[in-house]
Chains A and B, each alone.
Chain A
């Protein structure tokens, strides 16, 4: 019997041993040290150096003009004139047949001449196919007789914090440089409020000249375009930002098709789902984009989105924040069909929206609503049979404009000056119409009050 048990134990031990070795796939095994070299050899031809030059980076200053006028002896140097400049950056070949190269807009901004240097040393002059300052992306094209190598895209929505990253670029014009790190955070925004931002943050060393270069996963697939760093002294401190590959893909497609970005427009105004907001609305979620207002006749309105809804996912990918939604929608083209998961009236709903385009009556997610004076307030139109007909204040964000004005949750806005209003369109119209003084007539706890707006 004991022999039998021994055999059994031995067999089990054997199995356990094998499992342990399987749990450490990077373990150094004899002579095979893990190295990224074979992978880099494969993908490095897809990353290019970009050299730009131009003649009008600095705009002429009028005041200097005047000074020169009054001081004819002033040196010629102070005369305003286009200043020649040159710059460095990186780019990634995304289509080998057509010679498409993606880079940052800020790399080629103001450039008259763009020279692409391939890893083989061959140089080509590139033309700009299209550019989008808001998302800091530009698409270039070169004509090469020899075949090019393009990068393959990864699904950047599947990235997780802690995944390994490889950055390839041309820092300080040193030539192609490979650095490595991990995904430090996802969905970073707020670096530049004007821009569409949903950055991947990484600690791979990224410096000036890396801009427009590739951020790869361990399969050698593109997960992002390195775009910005946070560096108090100008250099890398382990905090760098990349535009996610999925965003790049959408933008590149539009740039190649139209030569510009035809931004999709949803037609909502919203904000983050804060814990306070989730509490007061009894929401059982801690991520997503909260809708404060839906623009009448916009794509969102037509699809049935309402103020108070929370958008939790776009095309099956979870939305972390309002900024993430903005970046996502802002990089999709007009006319695109988008499937949204929405929490509406305590129910999960799937809503399909066909994004509007420029010139449609809707507002972009980036434009502020005309009711900007009520920023931070969620308004709901009067319901049928409401005791006091007027616009209901469903929520007021602390420290928002609405809060500072003294608008309180539960208020019913019944009139502007003396004109009665029952929906937000009327309110906007009346606020525009009123010229000298605007006063909101509000019912609070069954007593009328007025709030003077200006």
Chain B
């Protein structure tokens, strides 16, 4: 009892007072940066900490190809491709764009500390334009990753790569737009858009946040597709998708995606109402691959898919992501609407061919 008495009336106030004193004493230092706001003085802030954390794990990639030499009949290795890559694992796994190494006979990896390696290709995924390489080295710098980080529009980002083989370059910008990171993602509409300068040679390099954590893998491939060169619009493949693809490639040598063998469209709510469907969100089958999983199950053109495994098929994107995630060979119940009648089809999911 006595001890409690003391703690209540003596120790508690003393400790509390000390803490308050601490707060008061340190608050001028702590608040300094904010308190000057009246006469605004810019803080000397820098991204250098983020750069130091992540930049060493971004590597230069040089693809070499055997090219017929003019001298004799010999073939010579010549550098044909330039890109960047990211060490994502201490075991030497390096992620890059597939198009960087697509035609390579030999792949050279240059680390920022000057070390040079030849890499082996573990696997690639043309749908997401990603490839996993591996090098055999010790004490490799690994890119910091934070699975809990979810990118938001307006986040400050840095792009790290080797544009035009100048040497490692850091450029800054913000996240301009966000795509999805679902497994059926393809193309730029699904990617992270940024205004950080990304040029030829940056492909496969890192987009990081201000804490130095990986946000995505930069890709400059879209520029080459059009003659209209735009600046301030660049794309990166989201980290979540990258991570999933990498794990899948390391485990299976490829990315396995479930497939129905159909082409479908979102069902227009107006059309749906005309058909007496209470404007329900669903998708409509427009094309069926001959001999594909859907074809074998008896699905027909203009069937409306309502449910997959008792879950509503809300729209095309969600449905395609869901199907892509199903392991090929699995039997799946698909609820369809044909001529006003609901039916359940039993479909054995196939594998999506790249």
**A contact set with B: CB distance below 8 Å:** 1, 3-4, 7-8, 11-12, 14-15, 18-19, 21-22, 25-26, 29, 32, 34-36, 38-39, 160-164, 181-185, 188, 201, 203, 217-219, 230, 233, 235-239, 274-275, 278, 286
Interface residue SS majority, chain A: mixed
With contacts A203-B197, A219-B42, A237-B231 taken as known, whether A22 is within 8 angstroms of B170 at the C-beta atoms is no
Q: Is B341 an interface residue (CB 8 A)?
A: no
Q: Is B170 a contact of A7 with CB atoms below 8 Å? A: no
**CB-contact partner of A201 in B30, B34, B47, B169, under 8 A:** B169
**A184-B171 contact given A4-B8, A7-B15, A22-B30, CB 8 Å threshold:** yes
Question: Per-residue 0/1 for B154-169: is the Cβ within 8 Å of any A Cβ (1 yes, 0 no)?
Answer: 0000100001101111
Write out the residue numbers on chain B whose beta carbons fall within 8 Å of the beta carbon of A188. Answer: 166-167
Q: CB-CB < 8 A to B115: which residues of A?
A: 275
Interface centre among A4, A39, A238 (most CB of B within 10 A): A238
Chain B residue total in the interface (Cβ 8 A): 51
> Which of B42, B50, B52, B163 has the most C-beta atoms of chain A within 10 angstroms of its own C-beta?
B42
Residues in A neighbouring B170, C-beta threshold 8 A: 161-162, 182-185, 203
A164 touches B231 (CB 8 A): no
- Bound-complex Cα distance A34 to B197 (A): 23
The reply to whether A162 and B50 form a contact with Cβ atoms under 8 Å apart is yes
Interchain CB contact under 8 A, A32 and B33: no
Question: Within residues 9 to 48 of chain B, which ones have a CB less than 8 A from any CB in chain A?
Answer: 11-12, 15-16, 19-20, 22-23, 27, 30-31, 33-34, 37, 39-48
Shortest CB distance A204–B (Å): 9
| Chain A residues within 8 Å of B71, by CB | none
A15 x B22 contact (CB < 8 A): yes
Using CB atoms and an 8 Å cutoff, list the residues of chain B in contact with chain A.
4, 7-8, 11-12, 15-16, 19-20, 22-23, 27, 30-31, 33-34, 37, 39-52, 55, 113-116, 158, 163-164, 166-172, 196-197, 199, 229, 231
Contact B167 A161 (CB under 8 A): no
In addition to A12-B19, A164-B47, A203-B197, 6 A-B residue pairs with Cβ atoms within 8 Å of each other are A8-B15, A15-B22, A38-B40, A162-B49, A182-B158, A184-B171
- A238 touching B199, Cβ below 8 Å: yes
Q: Let me know if A35 and B4 touch, CB within 8 A.
A: no
Q: Is the CB of B114 within 8 A of A160?
A: no
Q: Are B42 and A14 in contact (CB under 8 A)?
A: no
Which of B41, B44, B46, B52 has the most chain A CB atoms closer than 10 A to its own CB?
Answer: B46
Which interface residue of A21, A38, A203, A275 has the most chain B CB atoms within 10 A?
Answer: A203
8 tightest Cβ-Cβ pairs between the two chains A and B: A238-B197, A162-B47, A11-B19, A162-B48, A160-B48, A25-B33, A162-B51, A203-B171
Most chain A C-beta atoms within 10 Å of own C-beta, residue among B30, B55, B167, B172: B172
Q: Which residues of B contact A8 (CB under 8 A)?
A: 15-16, 19
The residue from A4, A25, A239 contacting B163, defined by CB atoms under 8 A apart: A239
B43 near A26: Cβ-Cβ < 8 Å: yes
Q: A177 to nearest B CB, angstroms?
A: 16
Determine the chain B residues whose CB is within 8 A of the CB of A218 once the complex forms. Answer: 42-45
Q: Which residues of B contact A161 (CB under 8 A)?
A: 48, 51, 55, 170
| Cα A15 to Cα B172 with chains together (Å) | 32
The answer for the CA separation of A8 and B16 in the assembled complex, in Å, is 7
- Write the chain A residue with the least CB distance to B232: A238
Tell which of B20, B34, B55, B196 touches A29, judged by Cβ atoms closer than 8 Å.
Answer: B34
Q: Can you report 7 A-B residue pairs in the complex whose CB atoms are below 8 A from each other?
A: A35-B40, A162-B51, A184-B170, A185-B167, A203-B170, A239-B169, A275-B116
- CB-defined contacts of B33 to chain A, threshold 8 Å: 22, 25
Q: In whole Å, how far is B193's beta carbon from the nearest beta carbon of chain A?
A: 15
Cβ-defined contact, B30 with A239, below 8 A:
no
Query: A19 touching B42 by the CB < 8 A rule?
Result: no
Select which of B22, B46, B196 is within 8 A of A160 by beta carbon: B46
Give the nearest-CB partner of B27 in chain A. Answer: A18
Give Cα distance in the complex from A161 to B46, angstroms: 9
| B197 closest partner in A (C-beta) | A238
The distance in angstroms between the C-alpha atoms of A452 and B4, with both chains bound, is 99
Q: Is the CB of B171 within 8 A of A4?
A: no
Residues of B within 8 A of A163 (CB): 46-48
Residues in A with CB closer than 8 Å to B12 are 3-4, 7
Give the complex CA separation of A237 and B199 in angstroms. 8
Q: Give the docked Cα–Cα distance between A69 and B30 (Å).
A: 82
